[in-house]
Amino acid sequence: MSRLLIDIGNSSVKAAVMADGELRGHVCAAALSASLLEPLLDEWHPASVGLSVVGNPKDLHLLPRHLPTTRVSAAGPLPIAIDYLTPATLGADRIAAAACAHKLAGGEACVVIDAGTCITVDLVDEKAVFRGGAIMPGLDMKFRALHNFTANLPLLSVETLLSSPDMLSPDNLLGRSTSQSLQVGVVAATRMALKAMVECHKDRHPRLQVLLTGGYGELFADAFGVATRYEPNLVLLGIDEIMNYETEN
């Protein structure tokens, strides 16, 4: 039986159907809508829905109410344990990504980095325990802050970076214009922070792996010096992993 998997994030909605062990019909949009879901429902006739929701979107009434729905939360049955002081505030996307990352890492300790609107850096240890992590501004958020809180700095974006691949080089620490200096500063600050956190975790977990996801995760895939994998659908796959665990237990 197929499942409809939906990841409602801060700035986009991703959906796909898990059928025969593969994600199919992947779609992405700025918001949840009937036009996003109807083609998946009509083509695949899923038997259930898995849902990861960040925040409190107003359009959840668009979900198919006739299908049993699993909503990811720290309170539900999970394939990993949650060691977090405020589990009720832990984002469903972080939980789902961690669940899938633990499986993909083969049970080894892993750092899970989701680079989107915000960047989260979480640790799941060898005992399958989510130990917590860090939340920092995403790349676009950094660019907006530099523009909004200064008098003259221009507003740049990740698209600016992608059009200037030299600015992404770890060896490039000298911007030759104000625009370049902003790009170098944002990229270097992010890369070095991520690298430092991974290195700290590696000291405690020598077989550590890194799982990357998010719209900009792949930009940092060469930063860590440990086994690293970029999986753009980590949250969707994690929702499915949690549903599998729920069914089996």
Q: Would you please indicate which residues are annotated as catalytic (active-site) residues?
A: 93
| Residue written as token pair 């660019």 | 143
Q: Are 156 and 143 in contact (CB under 8 A)?
A: yes
One-letter-per-residue 3-state SS of 57-101: CCCHHHCCCCCCEEECCCCCCCCCEECCCCHHHCCHHHHHHHHHH
The three-point CA angle 126-132-135 to 5° equals 135
Contacting residues for 122 by C-beta, under 8 A, at least 6 apart: 94, 97, 98, 111, 112, 113, 130, 131, 132, 133, 134
